[in-house]
Amino acid sequence: SVRAGETHTHIIIIIIIMDCGCDCADFAQPNAILFNILSRGEFSYKRVPQTCHCEKRRRVCLQTPSETCALASDVLVKTVYFMKNLPAFQQLPPKDQLKLLQNCWTPLFILGLAQDRVHFQVDESAAPSMLKRILLSGQESAGADSEQPTLAGVQTLKSCINKFWSLDLSPKEYAYLKGTVIFNPDVPDLKASLFVEGLQYEAQQALKEVLVPLYPQDGGRFARILLTASTLKSITPSLITELFFRPVIGDAQILDLLADMLFSR
């Protein structure tokens, strides 16, 4: 009974300590009495580094979800509509269309946010208590693959969008840049990879040509556009889904919805 009482006391102490502040806090100092108590017997805990990264891991949510999710949904619909109405895209086998959609919907959506000048703000989400995390650990494991929006992730997304705003792309530049993103021959298992490679080359050449009359004195703009487009890879589909669409689609899979939109008549 003494052992059971000690175990119960230890668990309560751990929960209280870990709930009192920063999850990264180095509460287990080697010379601390509490640390020695918790480290006795069968209880052994890893020390947490003193460097705190809570700023990076802080969970956030949209400040105005109803308004922002509506704008995001509109951008997503226009994104899929743009893809399915490209004649060259329609010539591809349906399986290739689906693979390209799965690969490029996130960067295309971000380009849509930039083109439509969508502004959004986030607030910090209330973190669940340690006790709640322990009690719900089984249920949470099912959704472990989903990336909860963090302040660092949103800052990266906003930085990416701001770079495109600084370029001030014209509608034609956006259109041809989207073409270079859609027709990616490096997507695995494409049946028409050579055809897709040719389409990407044509989109790149069209983007180059449209820049000549618009920016005759700026020979480096094409390279800057492609360099900025490379930052789109740093944003994960999971972040976009959880931030903008999870409040709308619930437990549905975003790729299933995108496929339905792509192949609907």
Contacts of 87 (CB under 8 A, 6+ apart): none
Report the distance separating Cα 132 and Cα 122, nearest Å.
24
Total domains, the chain:
1
Cα–Cα nearest to 143, from 56, 234, 25, 238: 238
In-domain check, residue 167: yes
Q: Is 49 left (phi over 0), alpha (psi -120 to 50) or beta?
A: beta
13 in a structural domain? no
CA separation, residue 211 to residues 177, 217, 249 (Å): 12, 10, 39
The pLDDT of residue 43 is 45
CATH number, domain with residue 72: 1.10.565.10
What is the pLDDT, as a whole number, of residue 190? 97
pTM of whole model > 0.85? no
Q: 103, 98, 69: which is closest to 84 by C-alpha?
A: 98
Between the alpha carbon of residue 64 and those of residues 68, 118, 123, 162, the distances in Å are: 6, 13, 9, 20
Q: Is 116 left (phi over 0), alpha (psi -120 to 50) or beta?
A: alpha
Would 138 be classed as within a structural domain? no
Q: What pLDDT was estimated at residue 42? A: 45
Could you tell me if residue 117 is inside a domain? yes
Asked if residue 3 belongs to a domain, the reply is: no
In a domain, 1, yes or no: no
Which sign does the torsion angle of CA 122, 224, 110, 238 carry? Answer: negative
Residue 42 counted as domain residue: no
The pLDDT score that the predictor gives to residue 265 is: 77
Q: Are 237 and 79 in contact (CB under 8 A)?
A: no
Low-confidence ranges of the chain (pLDDT < 70): 1-56, 127-146
The pLDDT, as a whole number, for residue 6 is 52
What domain range includes position 186?
Answer: 55-124+146-263
Q: Residue 196: how many CB atoms within 10 A of its CB?
A: 23
Give the per-residue pLDDT at 125: 83
Structure-block tokens of residue 143: 């959704």
Looking at residue 121, what is its pLDDT?
97
Residue 60: closest CA among 153, 140, 158, 156: 153
Residues 6+ apart with CB under 8 A from 29: 35
Per-residue pLDDT, 13: 45
Confirm whether 19 is domain-assigned. no
Distance from the first to the final alpha carbon of the chain: 69
> What is the tens place of the pLDDT at every residue in 60-114?
999 999 999 999 999 999 999 999 999 999 999 999 999 999 999 999 999 999 9
Q: What is the reported pLDDT for 28?
A: 43
